[in-house]
Amino acid sequence: MSVRALDPWKLVGLTRWEYGEICRRLGREPNPTELAMFGVMWSEHCSYKHSRVALQALPTSGPHILRGPGENAGVIDIGDGWAVAFKMESHNHPSAVDPFNGAATGVGGIVRDILAMGARPIALLDSLRFGALSDPQAGRMLRGVVSGISTYGNNIGVPTVGGEVETGPWYAKNPLVNVACLGLLRADAVATSKVRGPGNPVMVVGARTGRDGIHGASFASTELAEGEDERSSVQIGDPFAGKLLIEATLEALATGSIVAIQDLGAAGLTCAASEMAARGGLGMVLDLDRVPRREDGLTPVDVLLSESQERMLLVVRAGEEERIREIFQRWGLEAEVIGEVTEERVLRVFAKGATVAELPPEALANGPRYLPEAREPGDLQARWTLNLSELPEVSPADALLALLADPDIASKEAIYEQYDHMVQLRTVVLPGADSAVLRLPECPSKALALAVDGKGRYGALDPYRAAALTVAEAAANLACCGAQPLGMTDCLNFASPEDPEVFWAFTQSIEGLVDACQALEVPVVGGNVSFYNESSAGPIPPTVVVAMVGILEGSQRIPSPGFVQEGDRILLISSGCSPTLGGSCYLKAVYGQVRGRPPAVDLPMHRKILRFLIESVRRGLVRSSHDCSDGGLAVALAECCILGKLGAHVSVEIPKEKRKEEILFGEGGSQILISTPPAVVDDLLSYAVEHGVPVQVLGVVGGDRLVIESRTSEGAVRPLLDLPVRDLDRVWRNGFRRWME
């Protein structure tokens, strides 16, 4: 049977129209090798064909941005001649098939993206989603993913300094593994993937090439099929080789001999060569026989599509290739010239002396663009329906304990303790706080804060609000330690974009990101879109994850997330908007429901609150600060008590039109808890008035119990809950750990 009879486009995951477009661009039919190259490059994973148009709306420029989207990673100027490279990627499908290797190579891939900008990787963050942990399969995935992240990160010497985890049955067979990496570099030494100089040699460096990960990009661009074994599409990482590659590459870059660099990730050599040539407006000639291999029998397609890990593609100044080869060989790595840059804008590939592919790089790198149909779900209003009076009565104490035991809120120490978060000796604020903080010995006047957030529960109900709130919460987490946000990267995790309701949610999410980023002046430096996250268990909810970096002055005191001192006053900063139970963790943990409309965020007021908090921290007025997010005010108070090993006595006002559950456990309203010495309360309140920010005194730190009372507008006081801090601590610390054992 001929290839034509089998509909060749189907063999590589393309449509009939796309095959016709390839023929139109080439003026001929592609040969089988060329078609395989188009198959991976025009996959969703590589081409962003369903998302690129919508992504153009994101704000990507700002006074600190040195490189925005379009390179291997974004780069942000932090002053004093230094910059940071920052990016987030997903490895969802591979982690569903092989949790350990899928997660491990997710770490390896994002680290190489940062390395390709000329930066030394100094920190990792992860954002994870799993099915309900009572499901044994979800528990196995959780343990495998965490082990993969810790094994790779620990062995390459890059600390995992923070992260977040959310669970729910909608992630049962399609976990989300989103990993961000931050790197440090000199601001005048940013590397590029844009090739220059016809005649310059092209070198592949690092590990040898094998068959692992072939068609990995195509695999990541389709739904997960029940019962199919896709393990051959999952890359296998070698963290020891990854560490060697970091050191060898940084040493090679320091020579000034490297003109352009890109990691060999999705679609392997095909992607790196075509994108580098297209960005430079030049061509390349490649000889596949020169590519170092770790096994015999590899076909040209195997070599071109392999996603074997720990490899980079370099363009080196002519005459300096031996210098680069010696560096990599000294580190025990391969380094071979496999081609050269050409003036002619053609990617010409040889194997065994014959031409196996001859393609314009732009045709590969610039795939089709779609703007799919978008349709609001017909049951959206029904999802927002929430009648609190129909819910059975649960005491505030019982509700708080249920929330503290919920995997979304409970301590993630069982994860963090597997990560070496102190390697490189930069970590000042450890995992578990609102944000991680890194010191910079290279730039002692600065410190960096990092935070990652996502709102999958909200995304299922209102994707616009979910995205806006995710940005707002990440910025609030940075502000809690006194950091000014500089930029963010994102992972946008969705089901099939060919479903009009899914694409509507995607466009709504983009609008939410745009509005929040513009209002808070936080540009997007890069990111990732992961579509087709669905399985036999159904589609995942729209899940926008944001990682944000902020800057601190090196001399300022960083507030604790927990209460610090007996007698300190507890204050609540808020927007004045009432929190709501729509989409809340309270409904999920106590009643097993995800419904109601999530809270809106008053972005102009949120911006005022962040500025006020950052300046208050810098003035030394804040002893502790903690963002109220999942579980609302009561959970935030409990966490402050647990982390500080101190009790608290507070009083909250319950308006006549509100239920106590909304005030205690409602989310939203830009609420931030702070504590401060009694002597500076008046100064802080006056400063809040100057900023136009509502602040109220709730109570006092002290004792060994959390006591919350209600007060009415008439002054009547009633007890709401009274629990020992040791009981809160026990429930909170064990709620997640039991699923890791």
Residue 343 has a pLDDT of 98
Quickly state the pLDDT bin for 394 (edges 50, 70, 90).
very high
d(CA 301, CA 315): 22
Q: For residue range 190-204, what is the model confidence (pLDDT) as tens digits?
A: 999 999 999 999 999
Task: Give the homologous superfamily in CATH for domain 559-741.
Answer: PurM-like C-terminal domain (3.90.650.10)
Q: How far is CA 66 from CA 74, 77, 129, 487, 549, in A?
A: 8, 6, 32, 11, 15
Q: Give residue 223's pLDDT.
A: 56
| Domain range list for the chain | 559-741
Q: Does position 328 have pLDDT exceeding 70, yes or no?
A: yes
Q: Mean pLDDT across the stretch 122-127? A: 96
**Span 80-92, mean pLDDT?**
96
Q: Per-residue pLDDT for 215 more than 60? A: no
Closest CA to 288 of 326, 335, 332, 337: 337
**Which residues, in sequence order, are CB contacts of 651 under 8 Å at separation 6+?**
698, 699, 708, 709, 710, 711, 717
pLDDT of residue 652 exceeding 50, the answer is: yes
Query: How high does pLDDT run on average in the chain?
Result: 93
Q: Quick check: 617 and 663 in contact, CB under 8 A?
A: no
User: Residue 683: CB partners within 8 Å, gap ≥ 6?
Assistant: 621
Lowest mean pLDDT among 141-155, 278-292, 711-725: 711-725
Q: Which residue reads 């923070």 in tokens?
A: 162
pLDDT of residue 658: 87
Q: Which residues are catalytic?
A: 45, 91
pLDDT for 127-152, tens place per residue? 999 999 999 999 999 999 999 999 99
> In this predicted structure, what is the pLDDT of residue 224?
55
> Which H or E run contains 624?
strand 624-627
Contacts of 390 (CB under 8 A, 6+ apart): none
Question: Which alpha helices (DSSP H) does 157-235 contain, by range?
Answer: 216-219
Is 643's pLDDT higher than 70? yes
State the residue for tokens 């936080």: 522
Outline where 521-596 has alpha helix (H): 585-586
Per DSSP (E only), the strands in 239-353 are: 258-263, 283-287, 311-316, 334-342, 347-351
Q: Residues 51-66: what's their mean pLDDT?
A: 95
Residue range 525-578, pLDDT digits in tens: 999 999 999 988 899 999 999 999 999 987 778 999 999 999 999 999 999 788
Reported in sequence order, the residue ranges of 172-310 that DSSP labels E, i.e. its strands, are: 176-186, 201-206, 258-263, 283-287
Q: Output phi, psi for 556, to 5 deg.
A: -75, 150
Say what the pLDDT of residue 536 is. Answer: 84
Ranges of beta strands (E only) in 235-370 are 258-263, 283-287, 311-316, 334-342, 347-351, 354-359
Band of residue 113 on the pLDDT scale cut at 50, 70, 90: very high
User: Cα-flanking dihedrals φ and ψ of residue 120, to 5°?
Assistant: -85, 120
Separation between Cα atoms, residue 40 and residue 18, nearest integer Å: 13
User: What integer pLDDT is reported at residue 216 of this predicted model?
Assistant: 47
pLDDT surpassing 50 at residue 5: no
Q: How confident is the model at residue 457 (pLDDT cuts 50, 70, 90)?
A: very high
Cα→Cα distances 246→116, 156, 206, 597, Å: 10, 8, 10, 46
- Report residue 713's pLDDT band, with 50, 70 and 90 as the boundaries: low
Q: What is the pLDDT of residue 2?
A: 41
Question: What pLDDT does residue 556 have?
Answer: 79
Between helix 99-115 and helix 136-156 the angle, nearest 10°, is: 40
pLDDT tens digits, one per residue of 222-246: 555 554 445 455 778 899 999 999 9
Nearest to 518 by CA among 481, 552, 468: 468
Q: Which two tokens stand for residue 635?
A: 């959970």
- Is residue 214 pLDDT above 90, yes or no? no
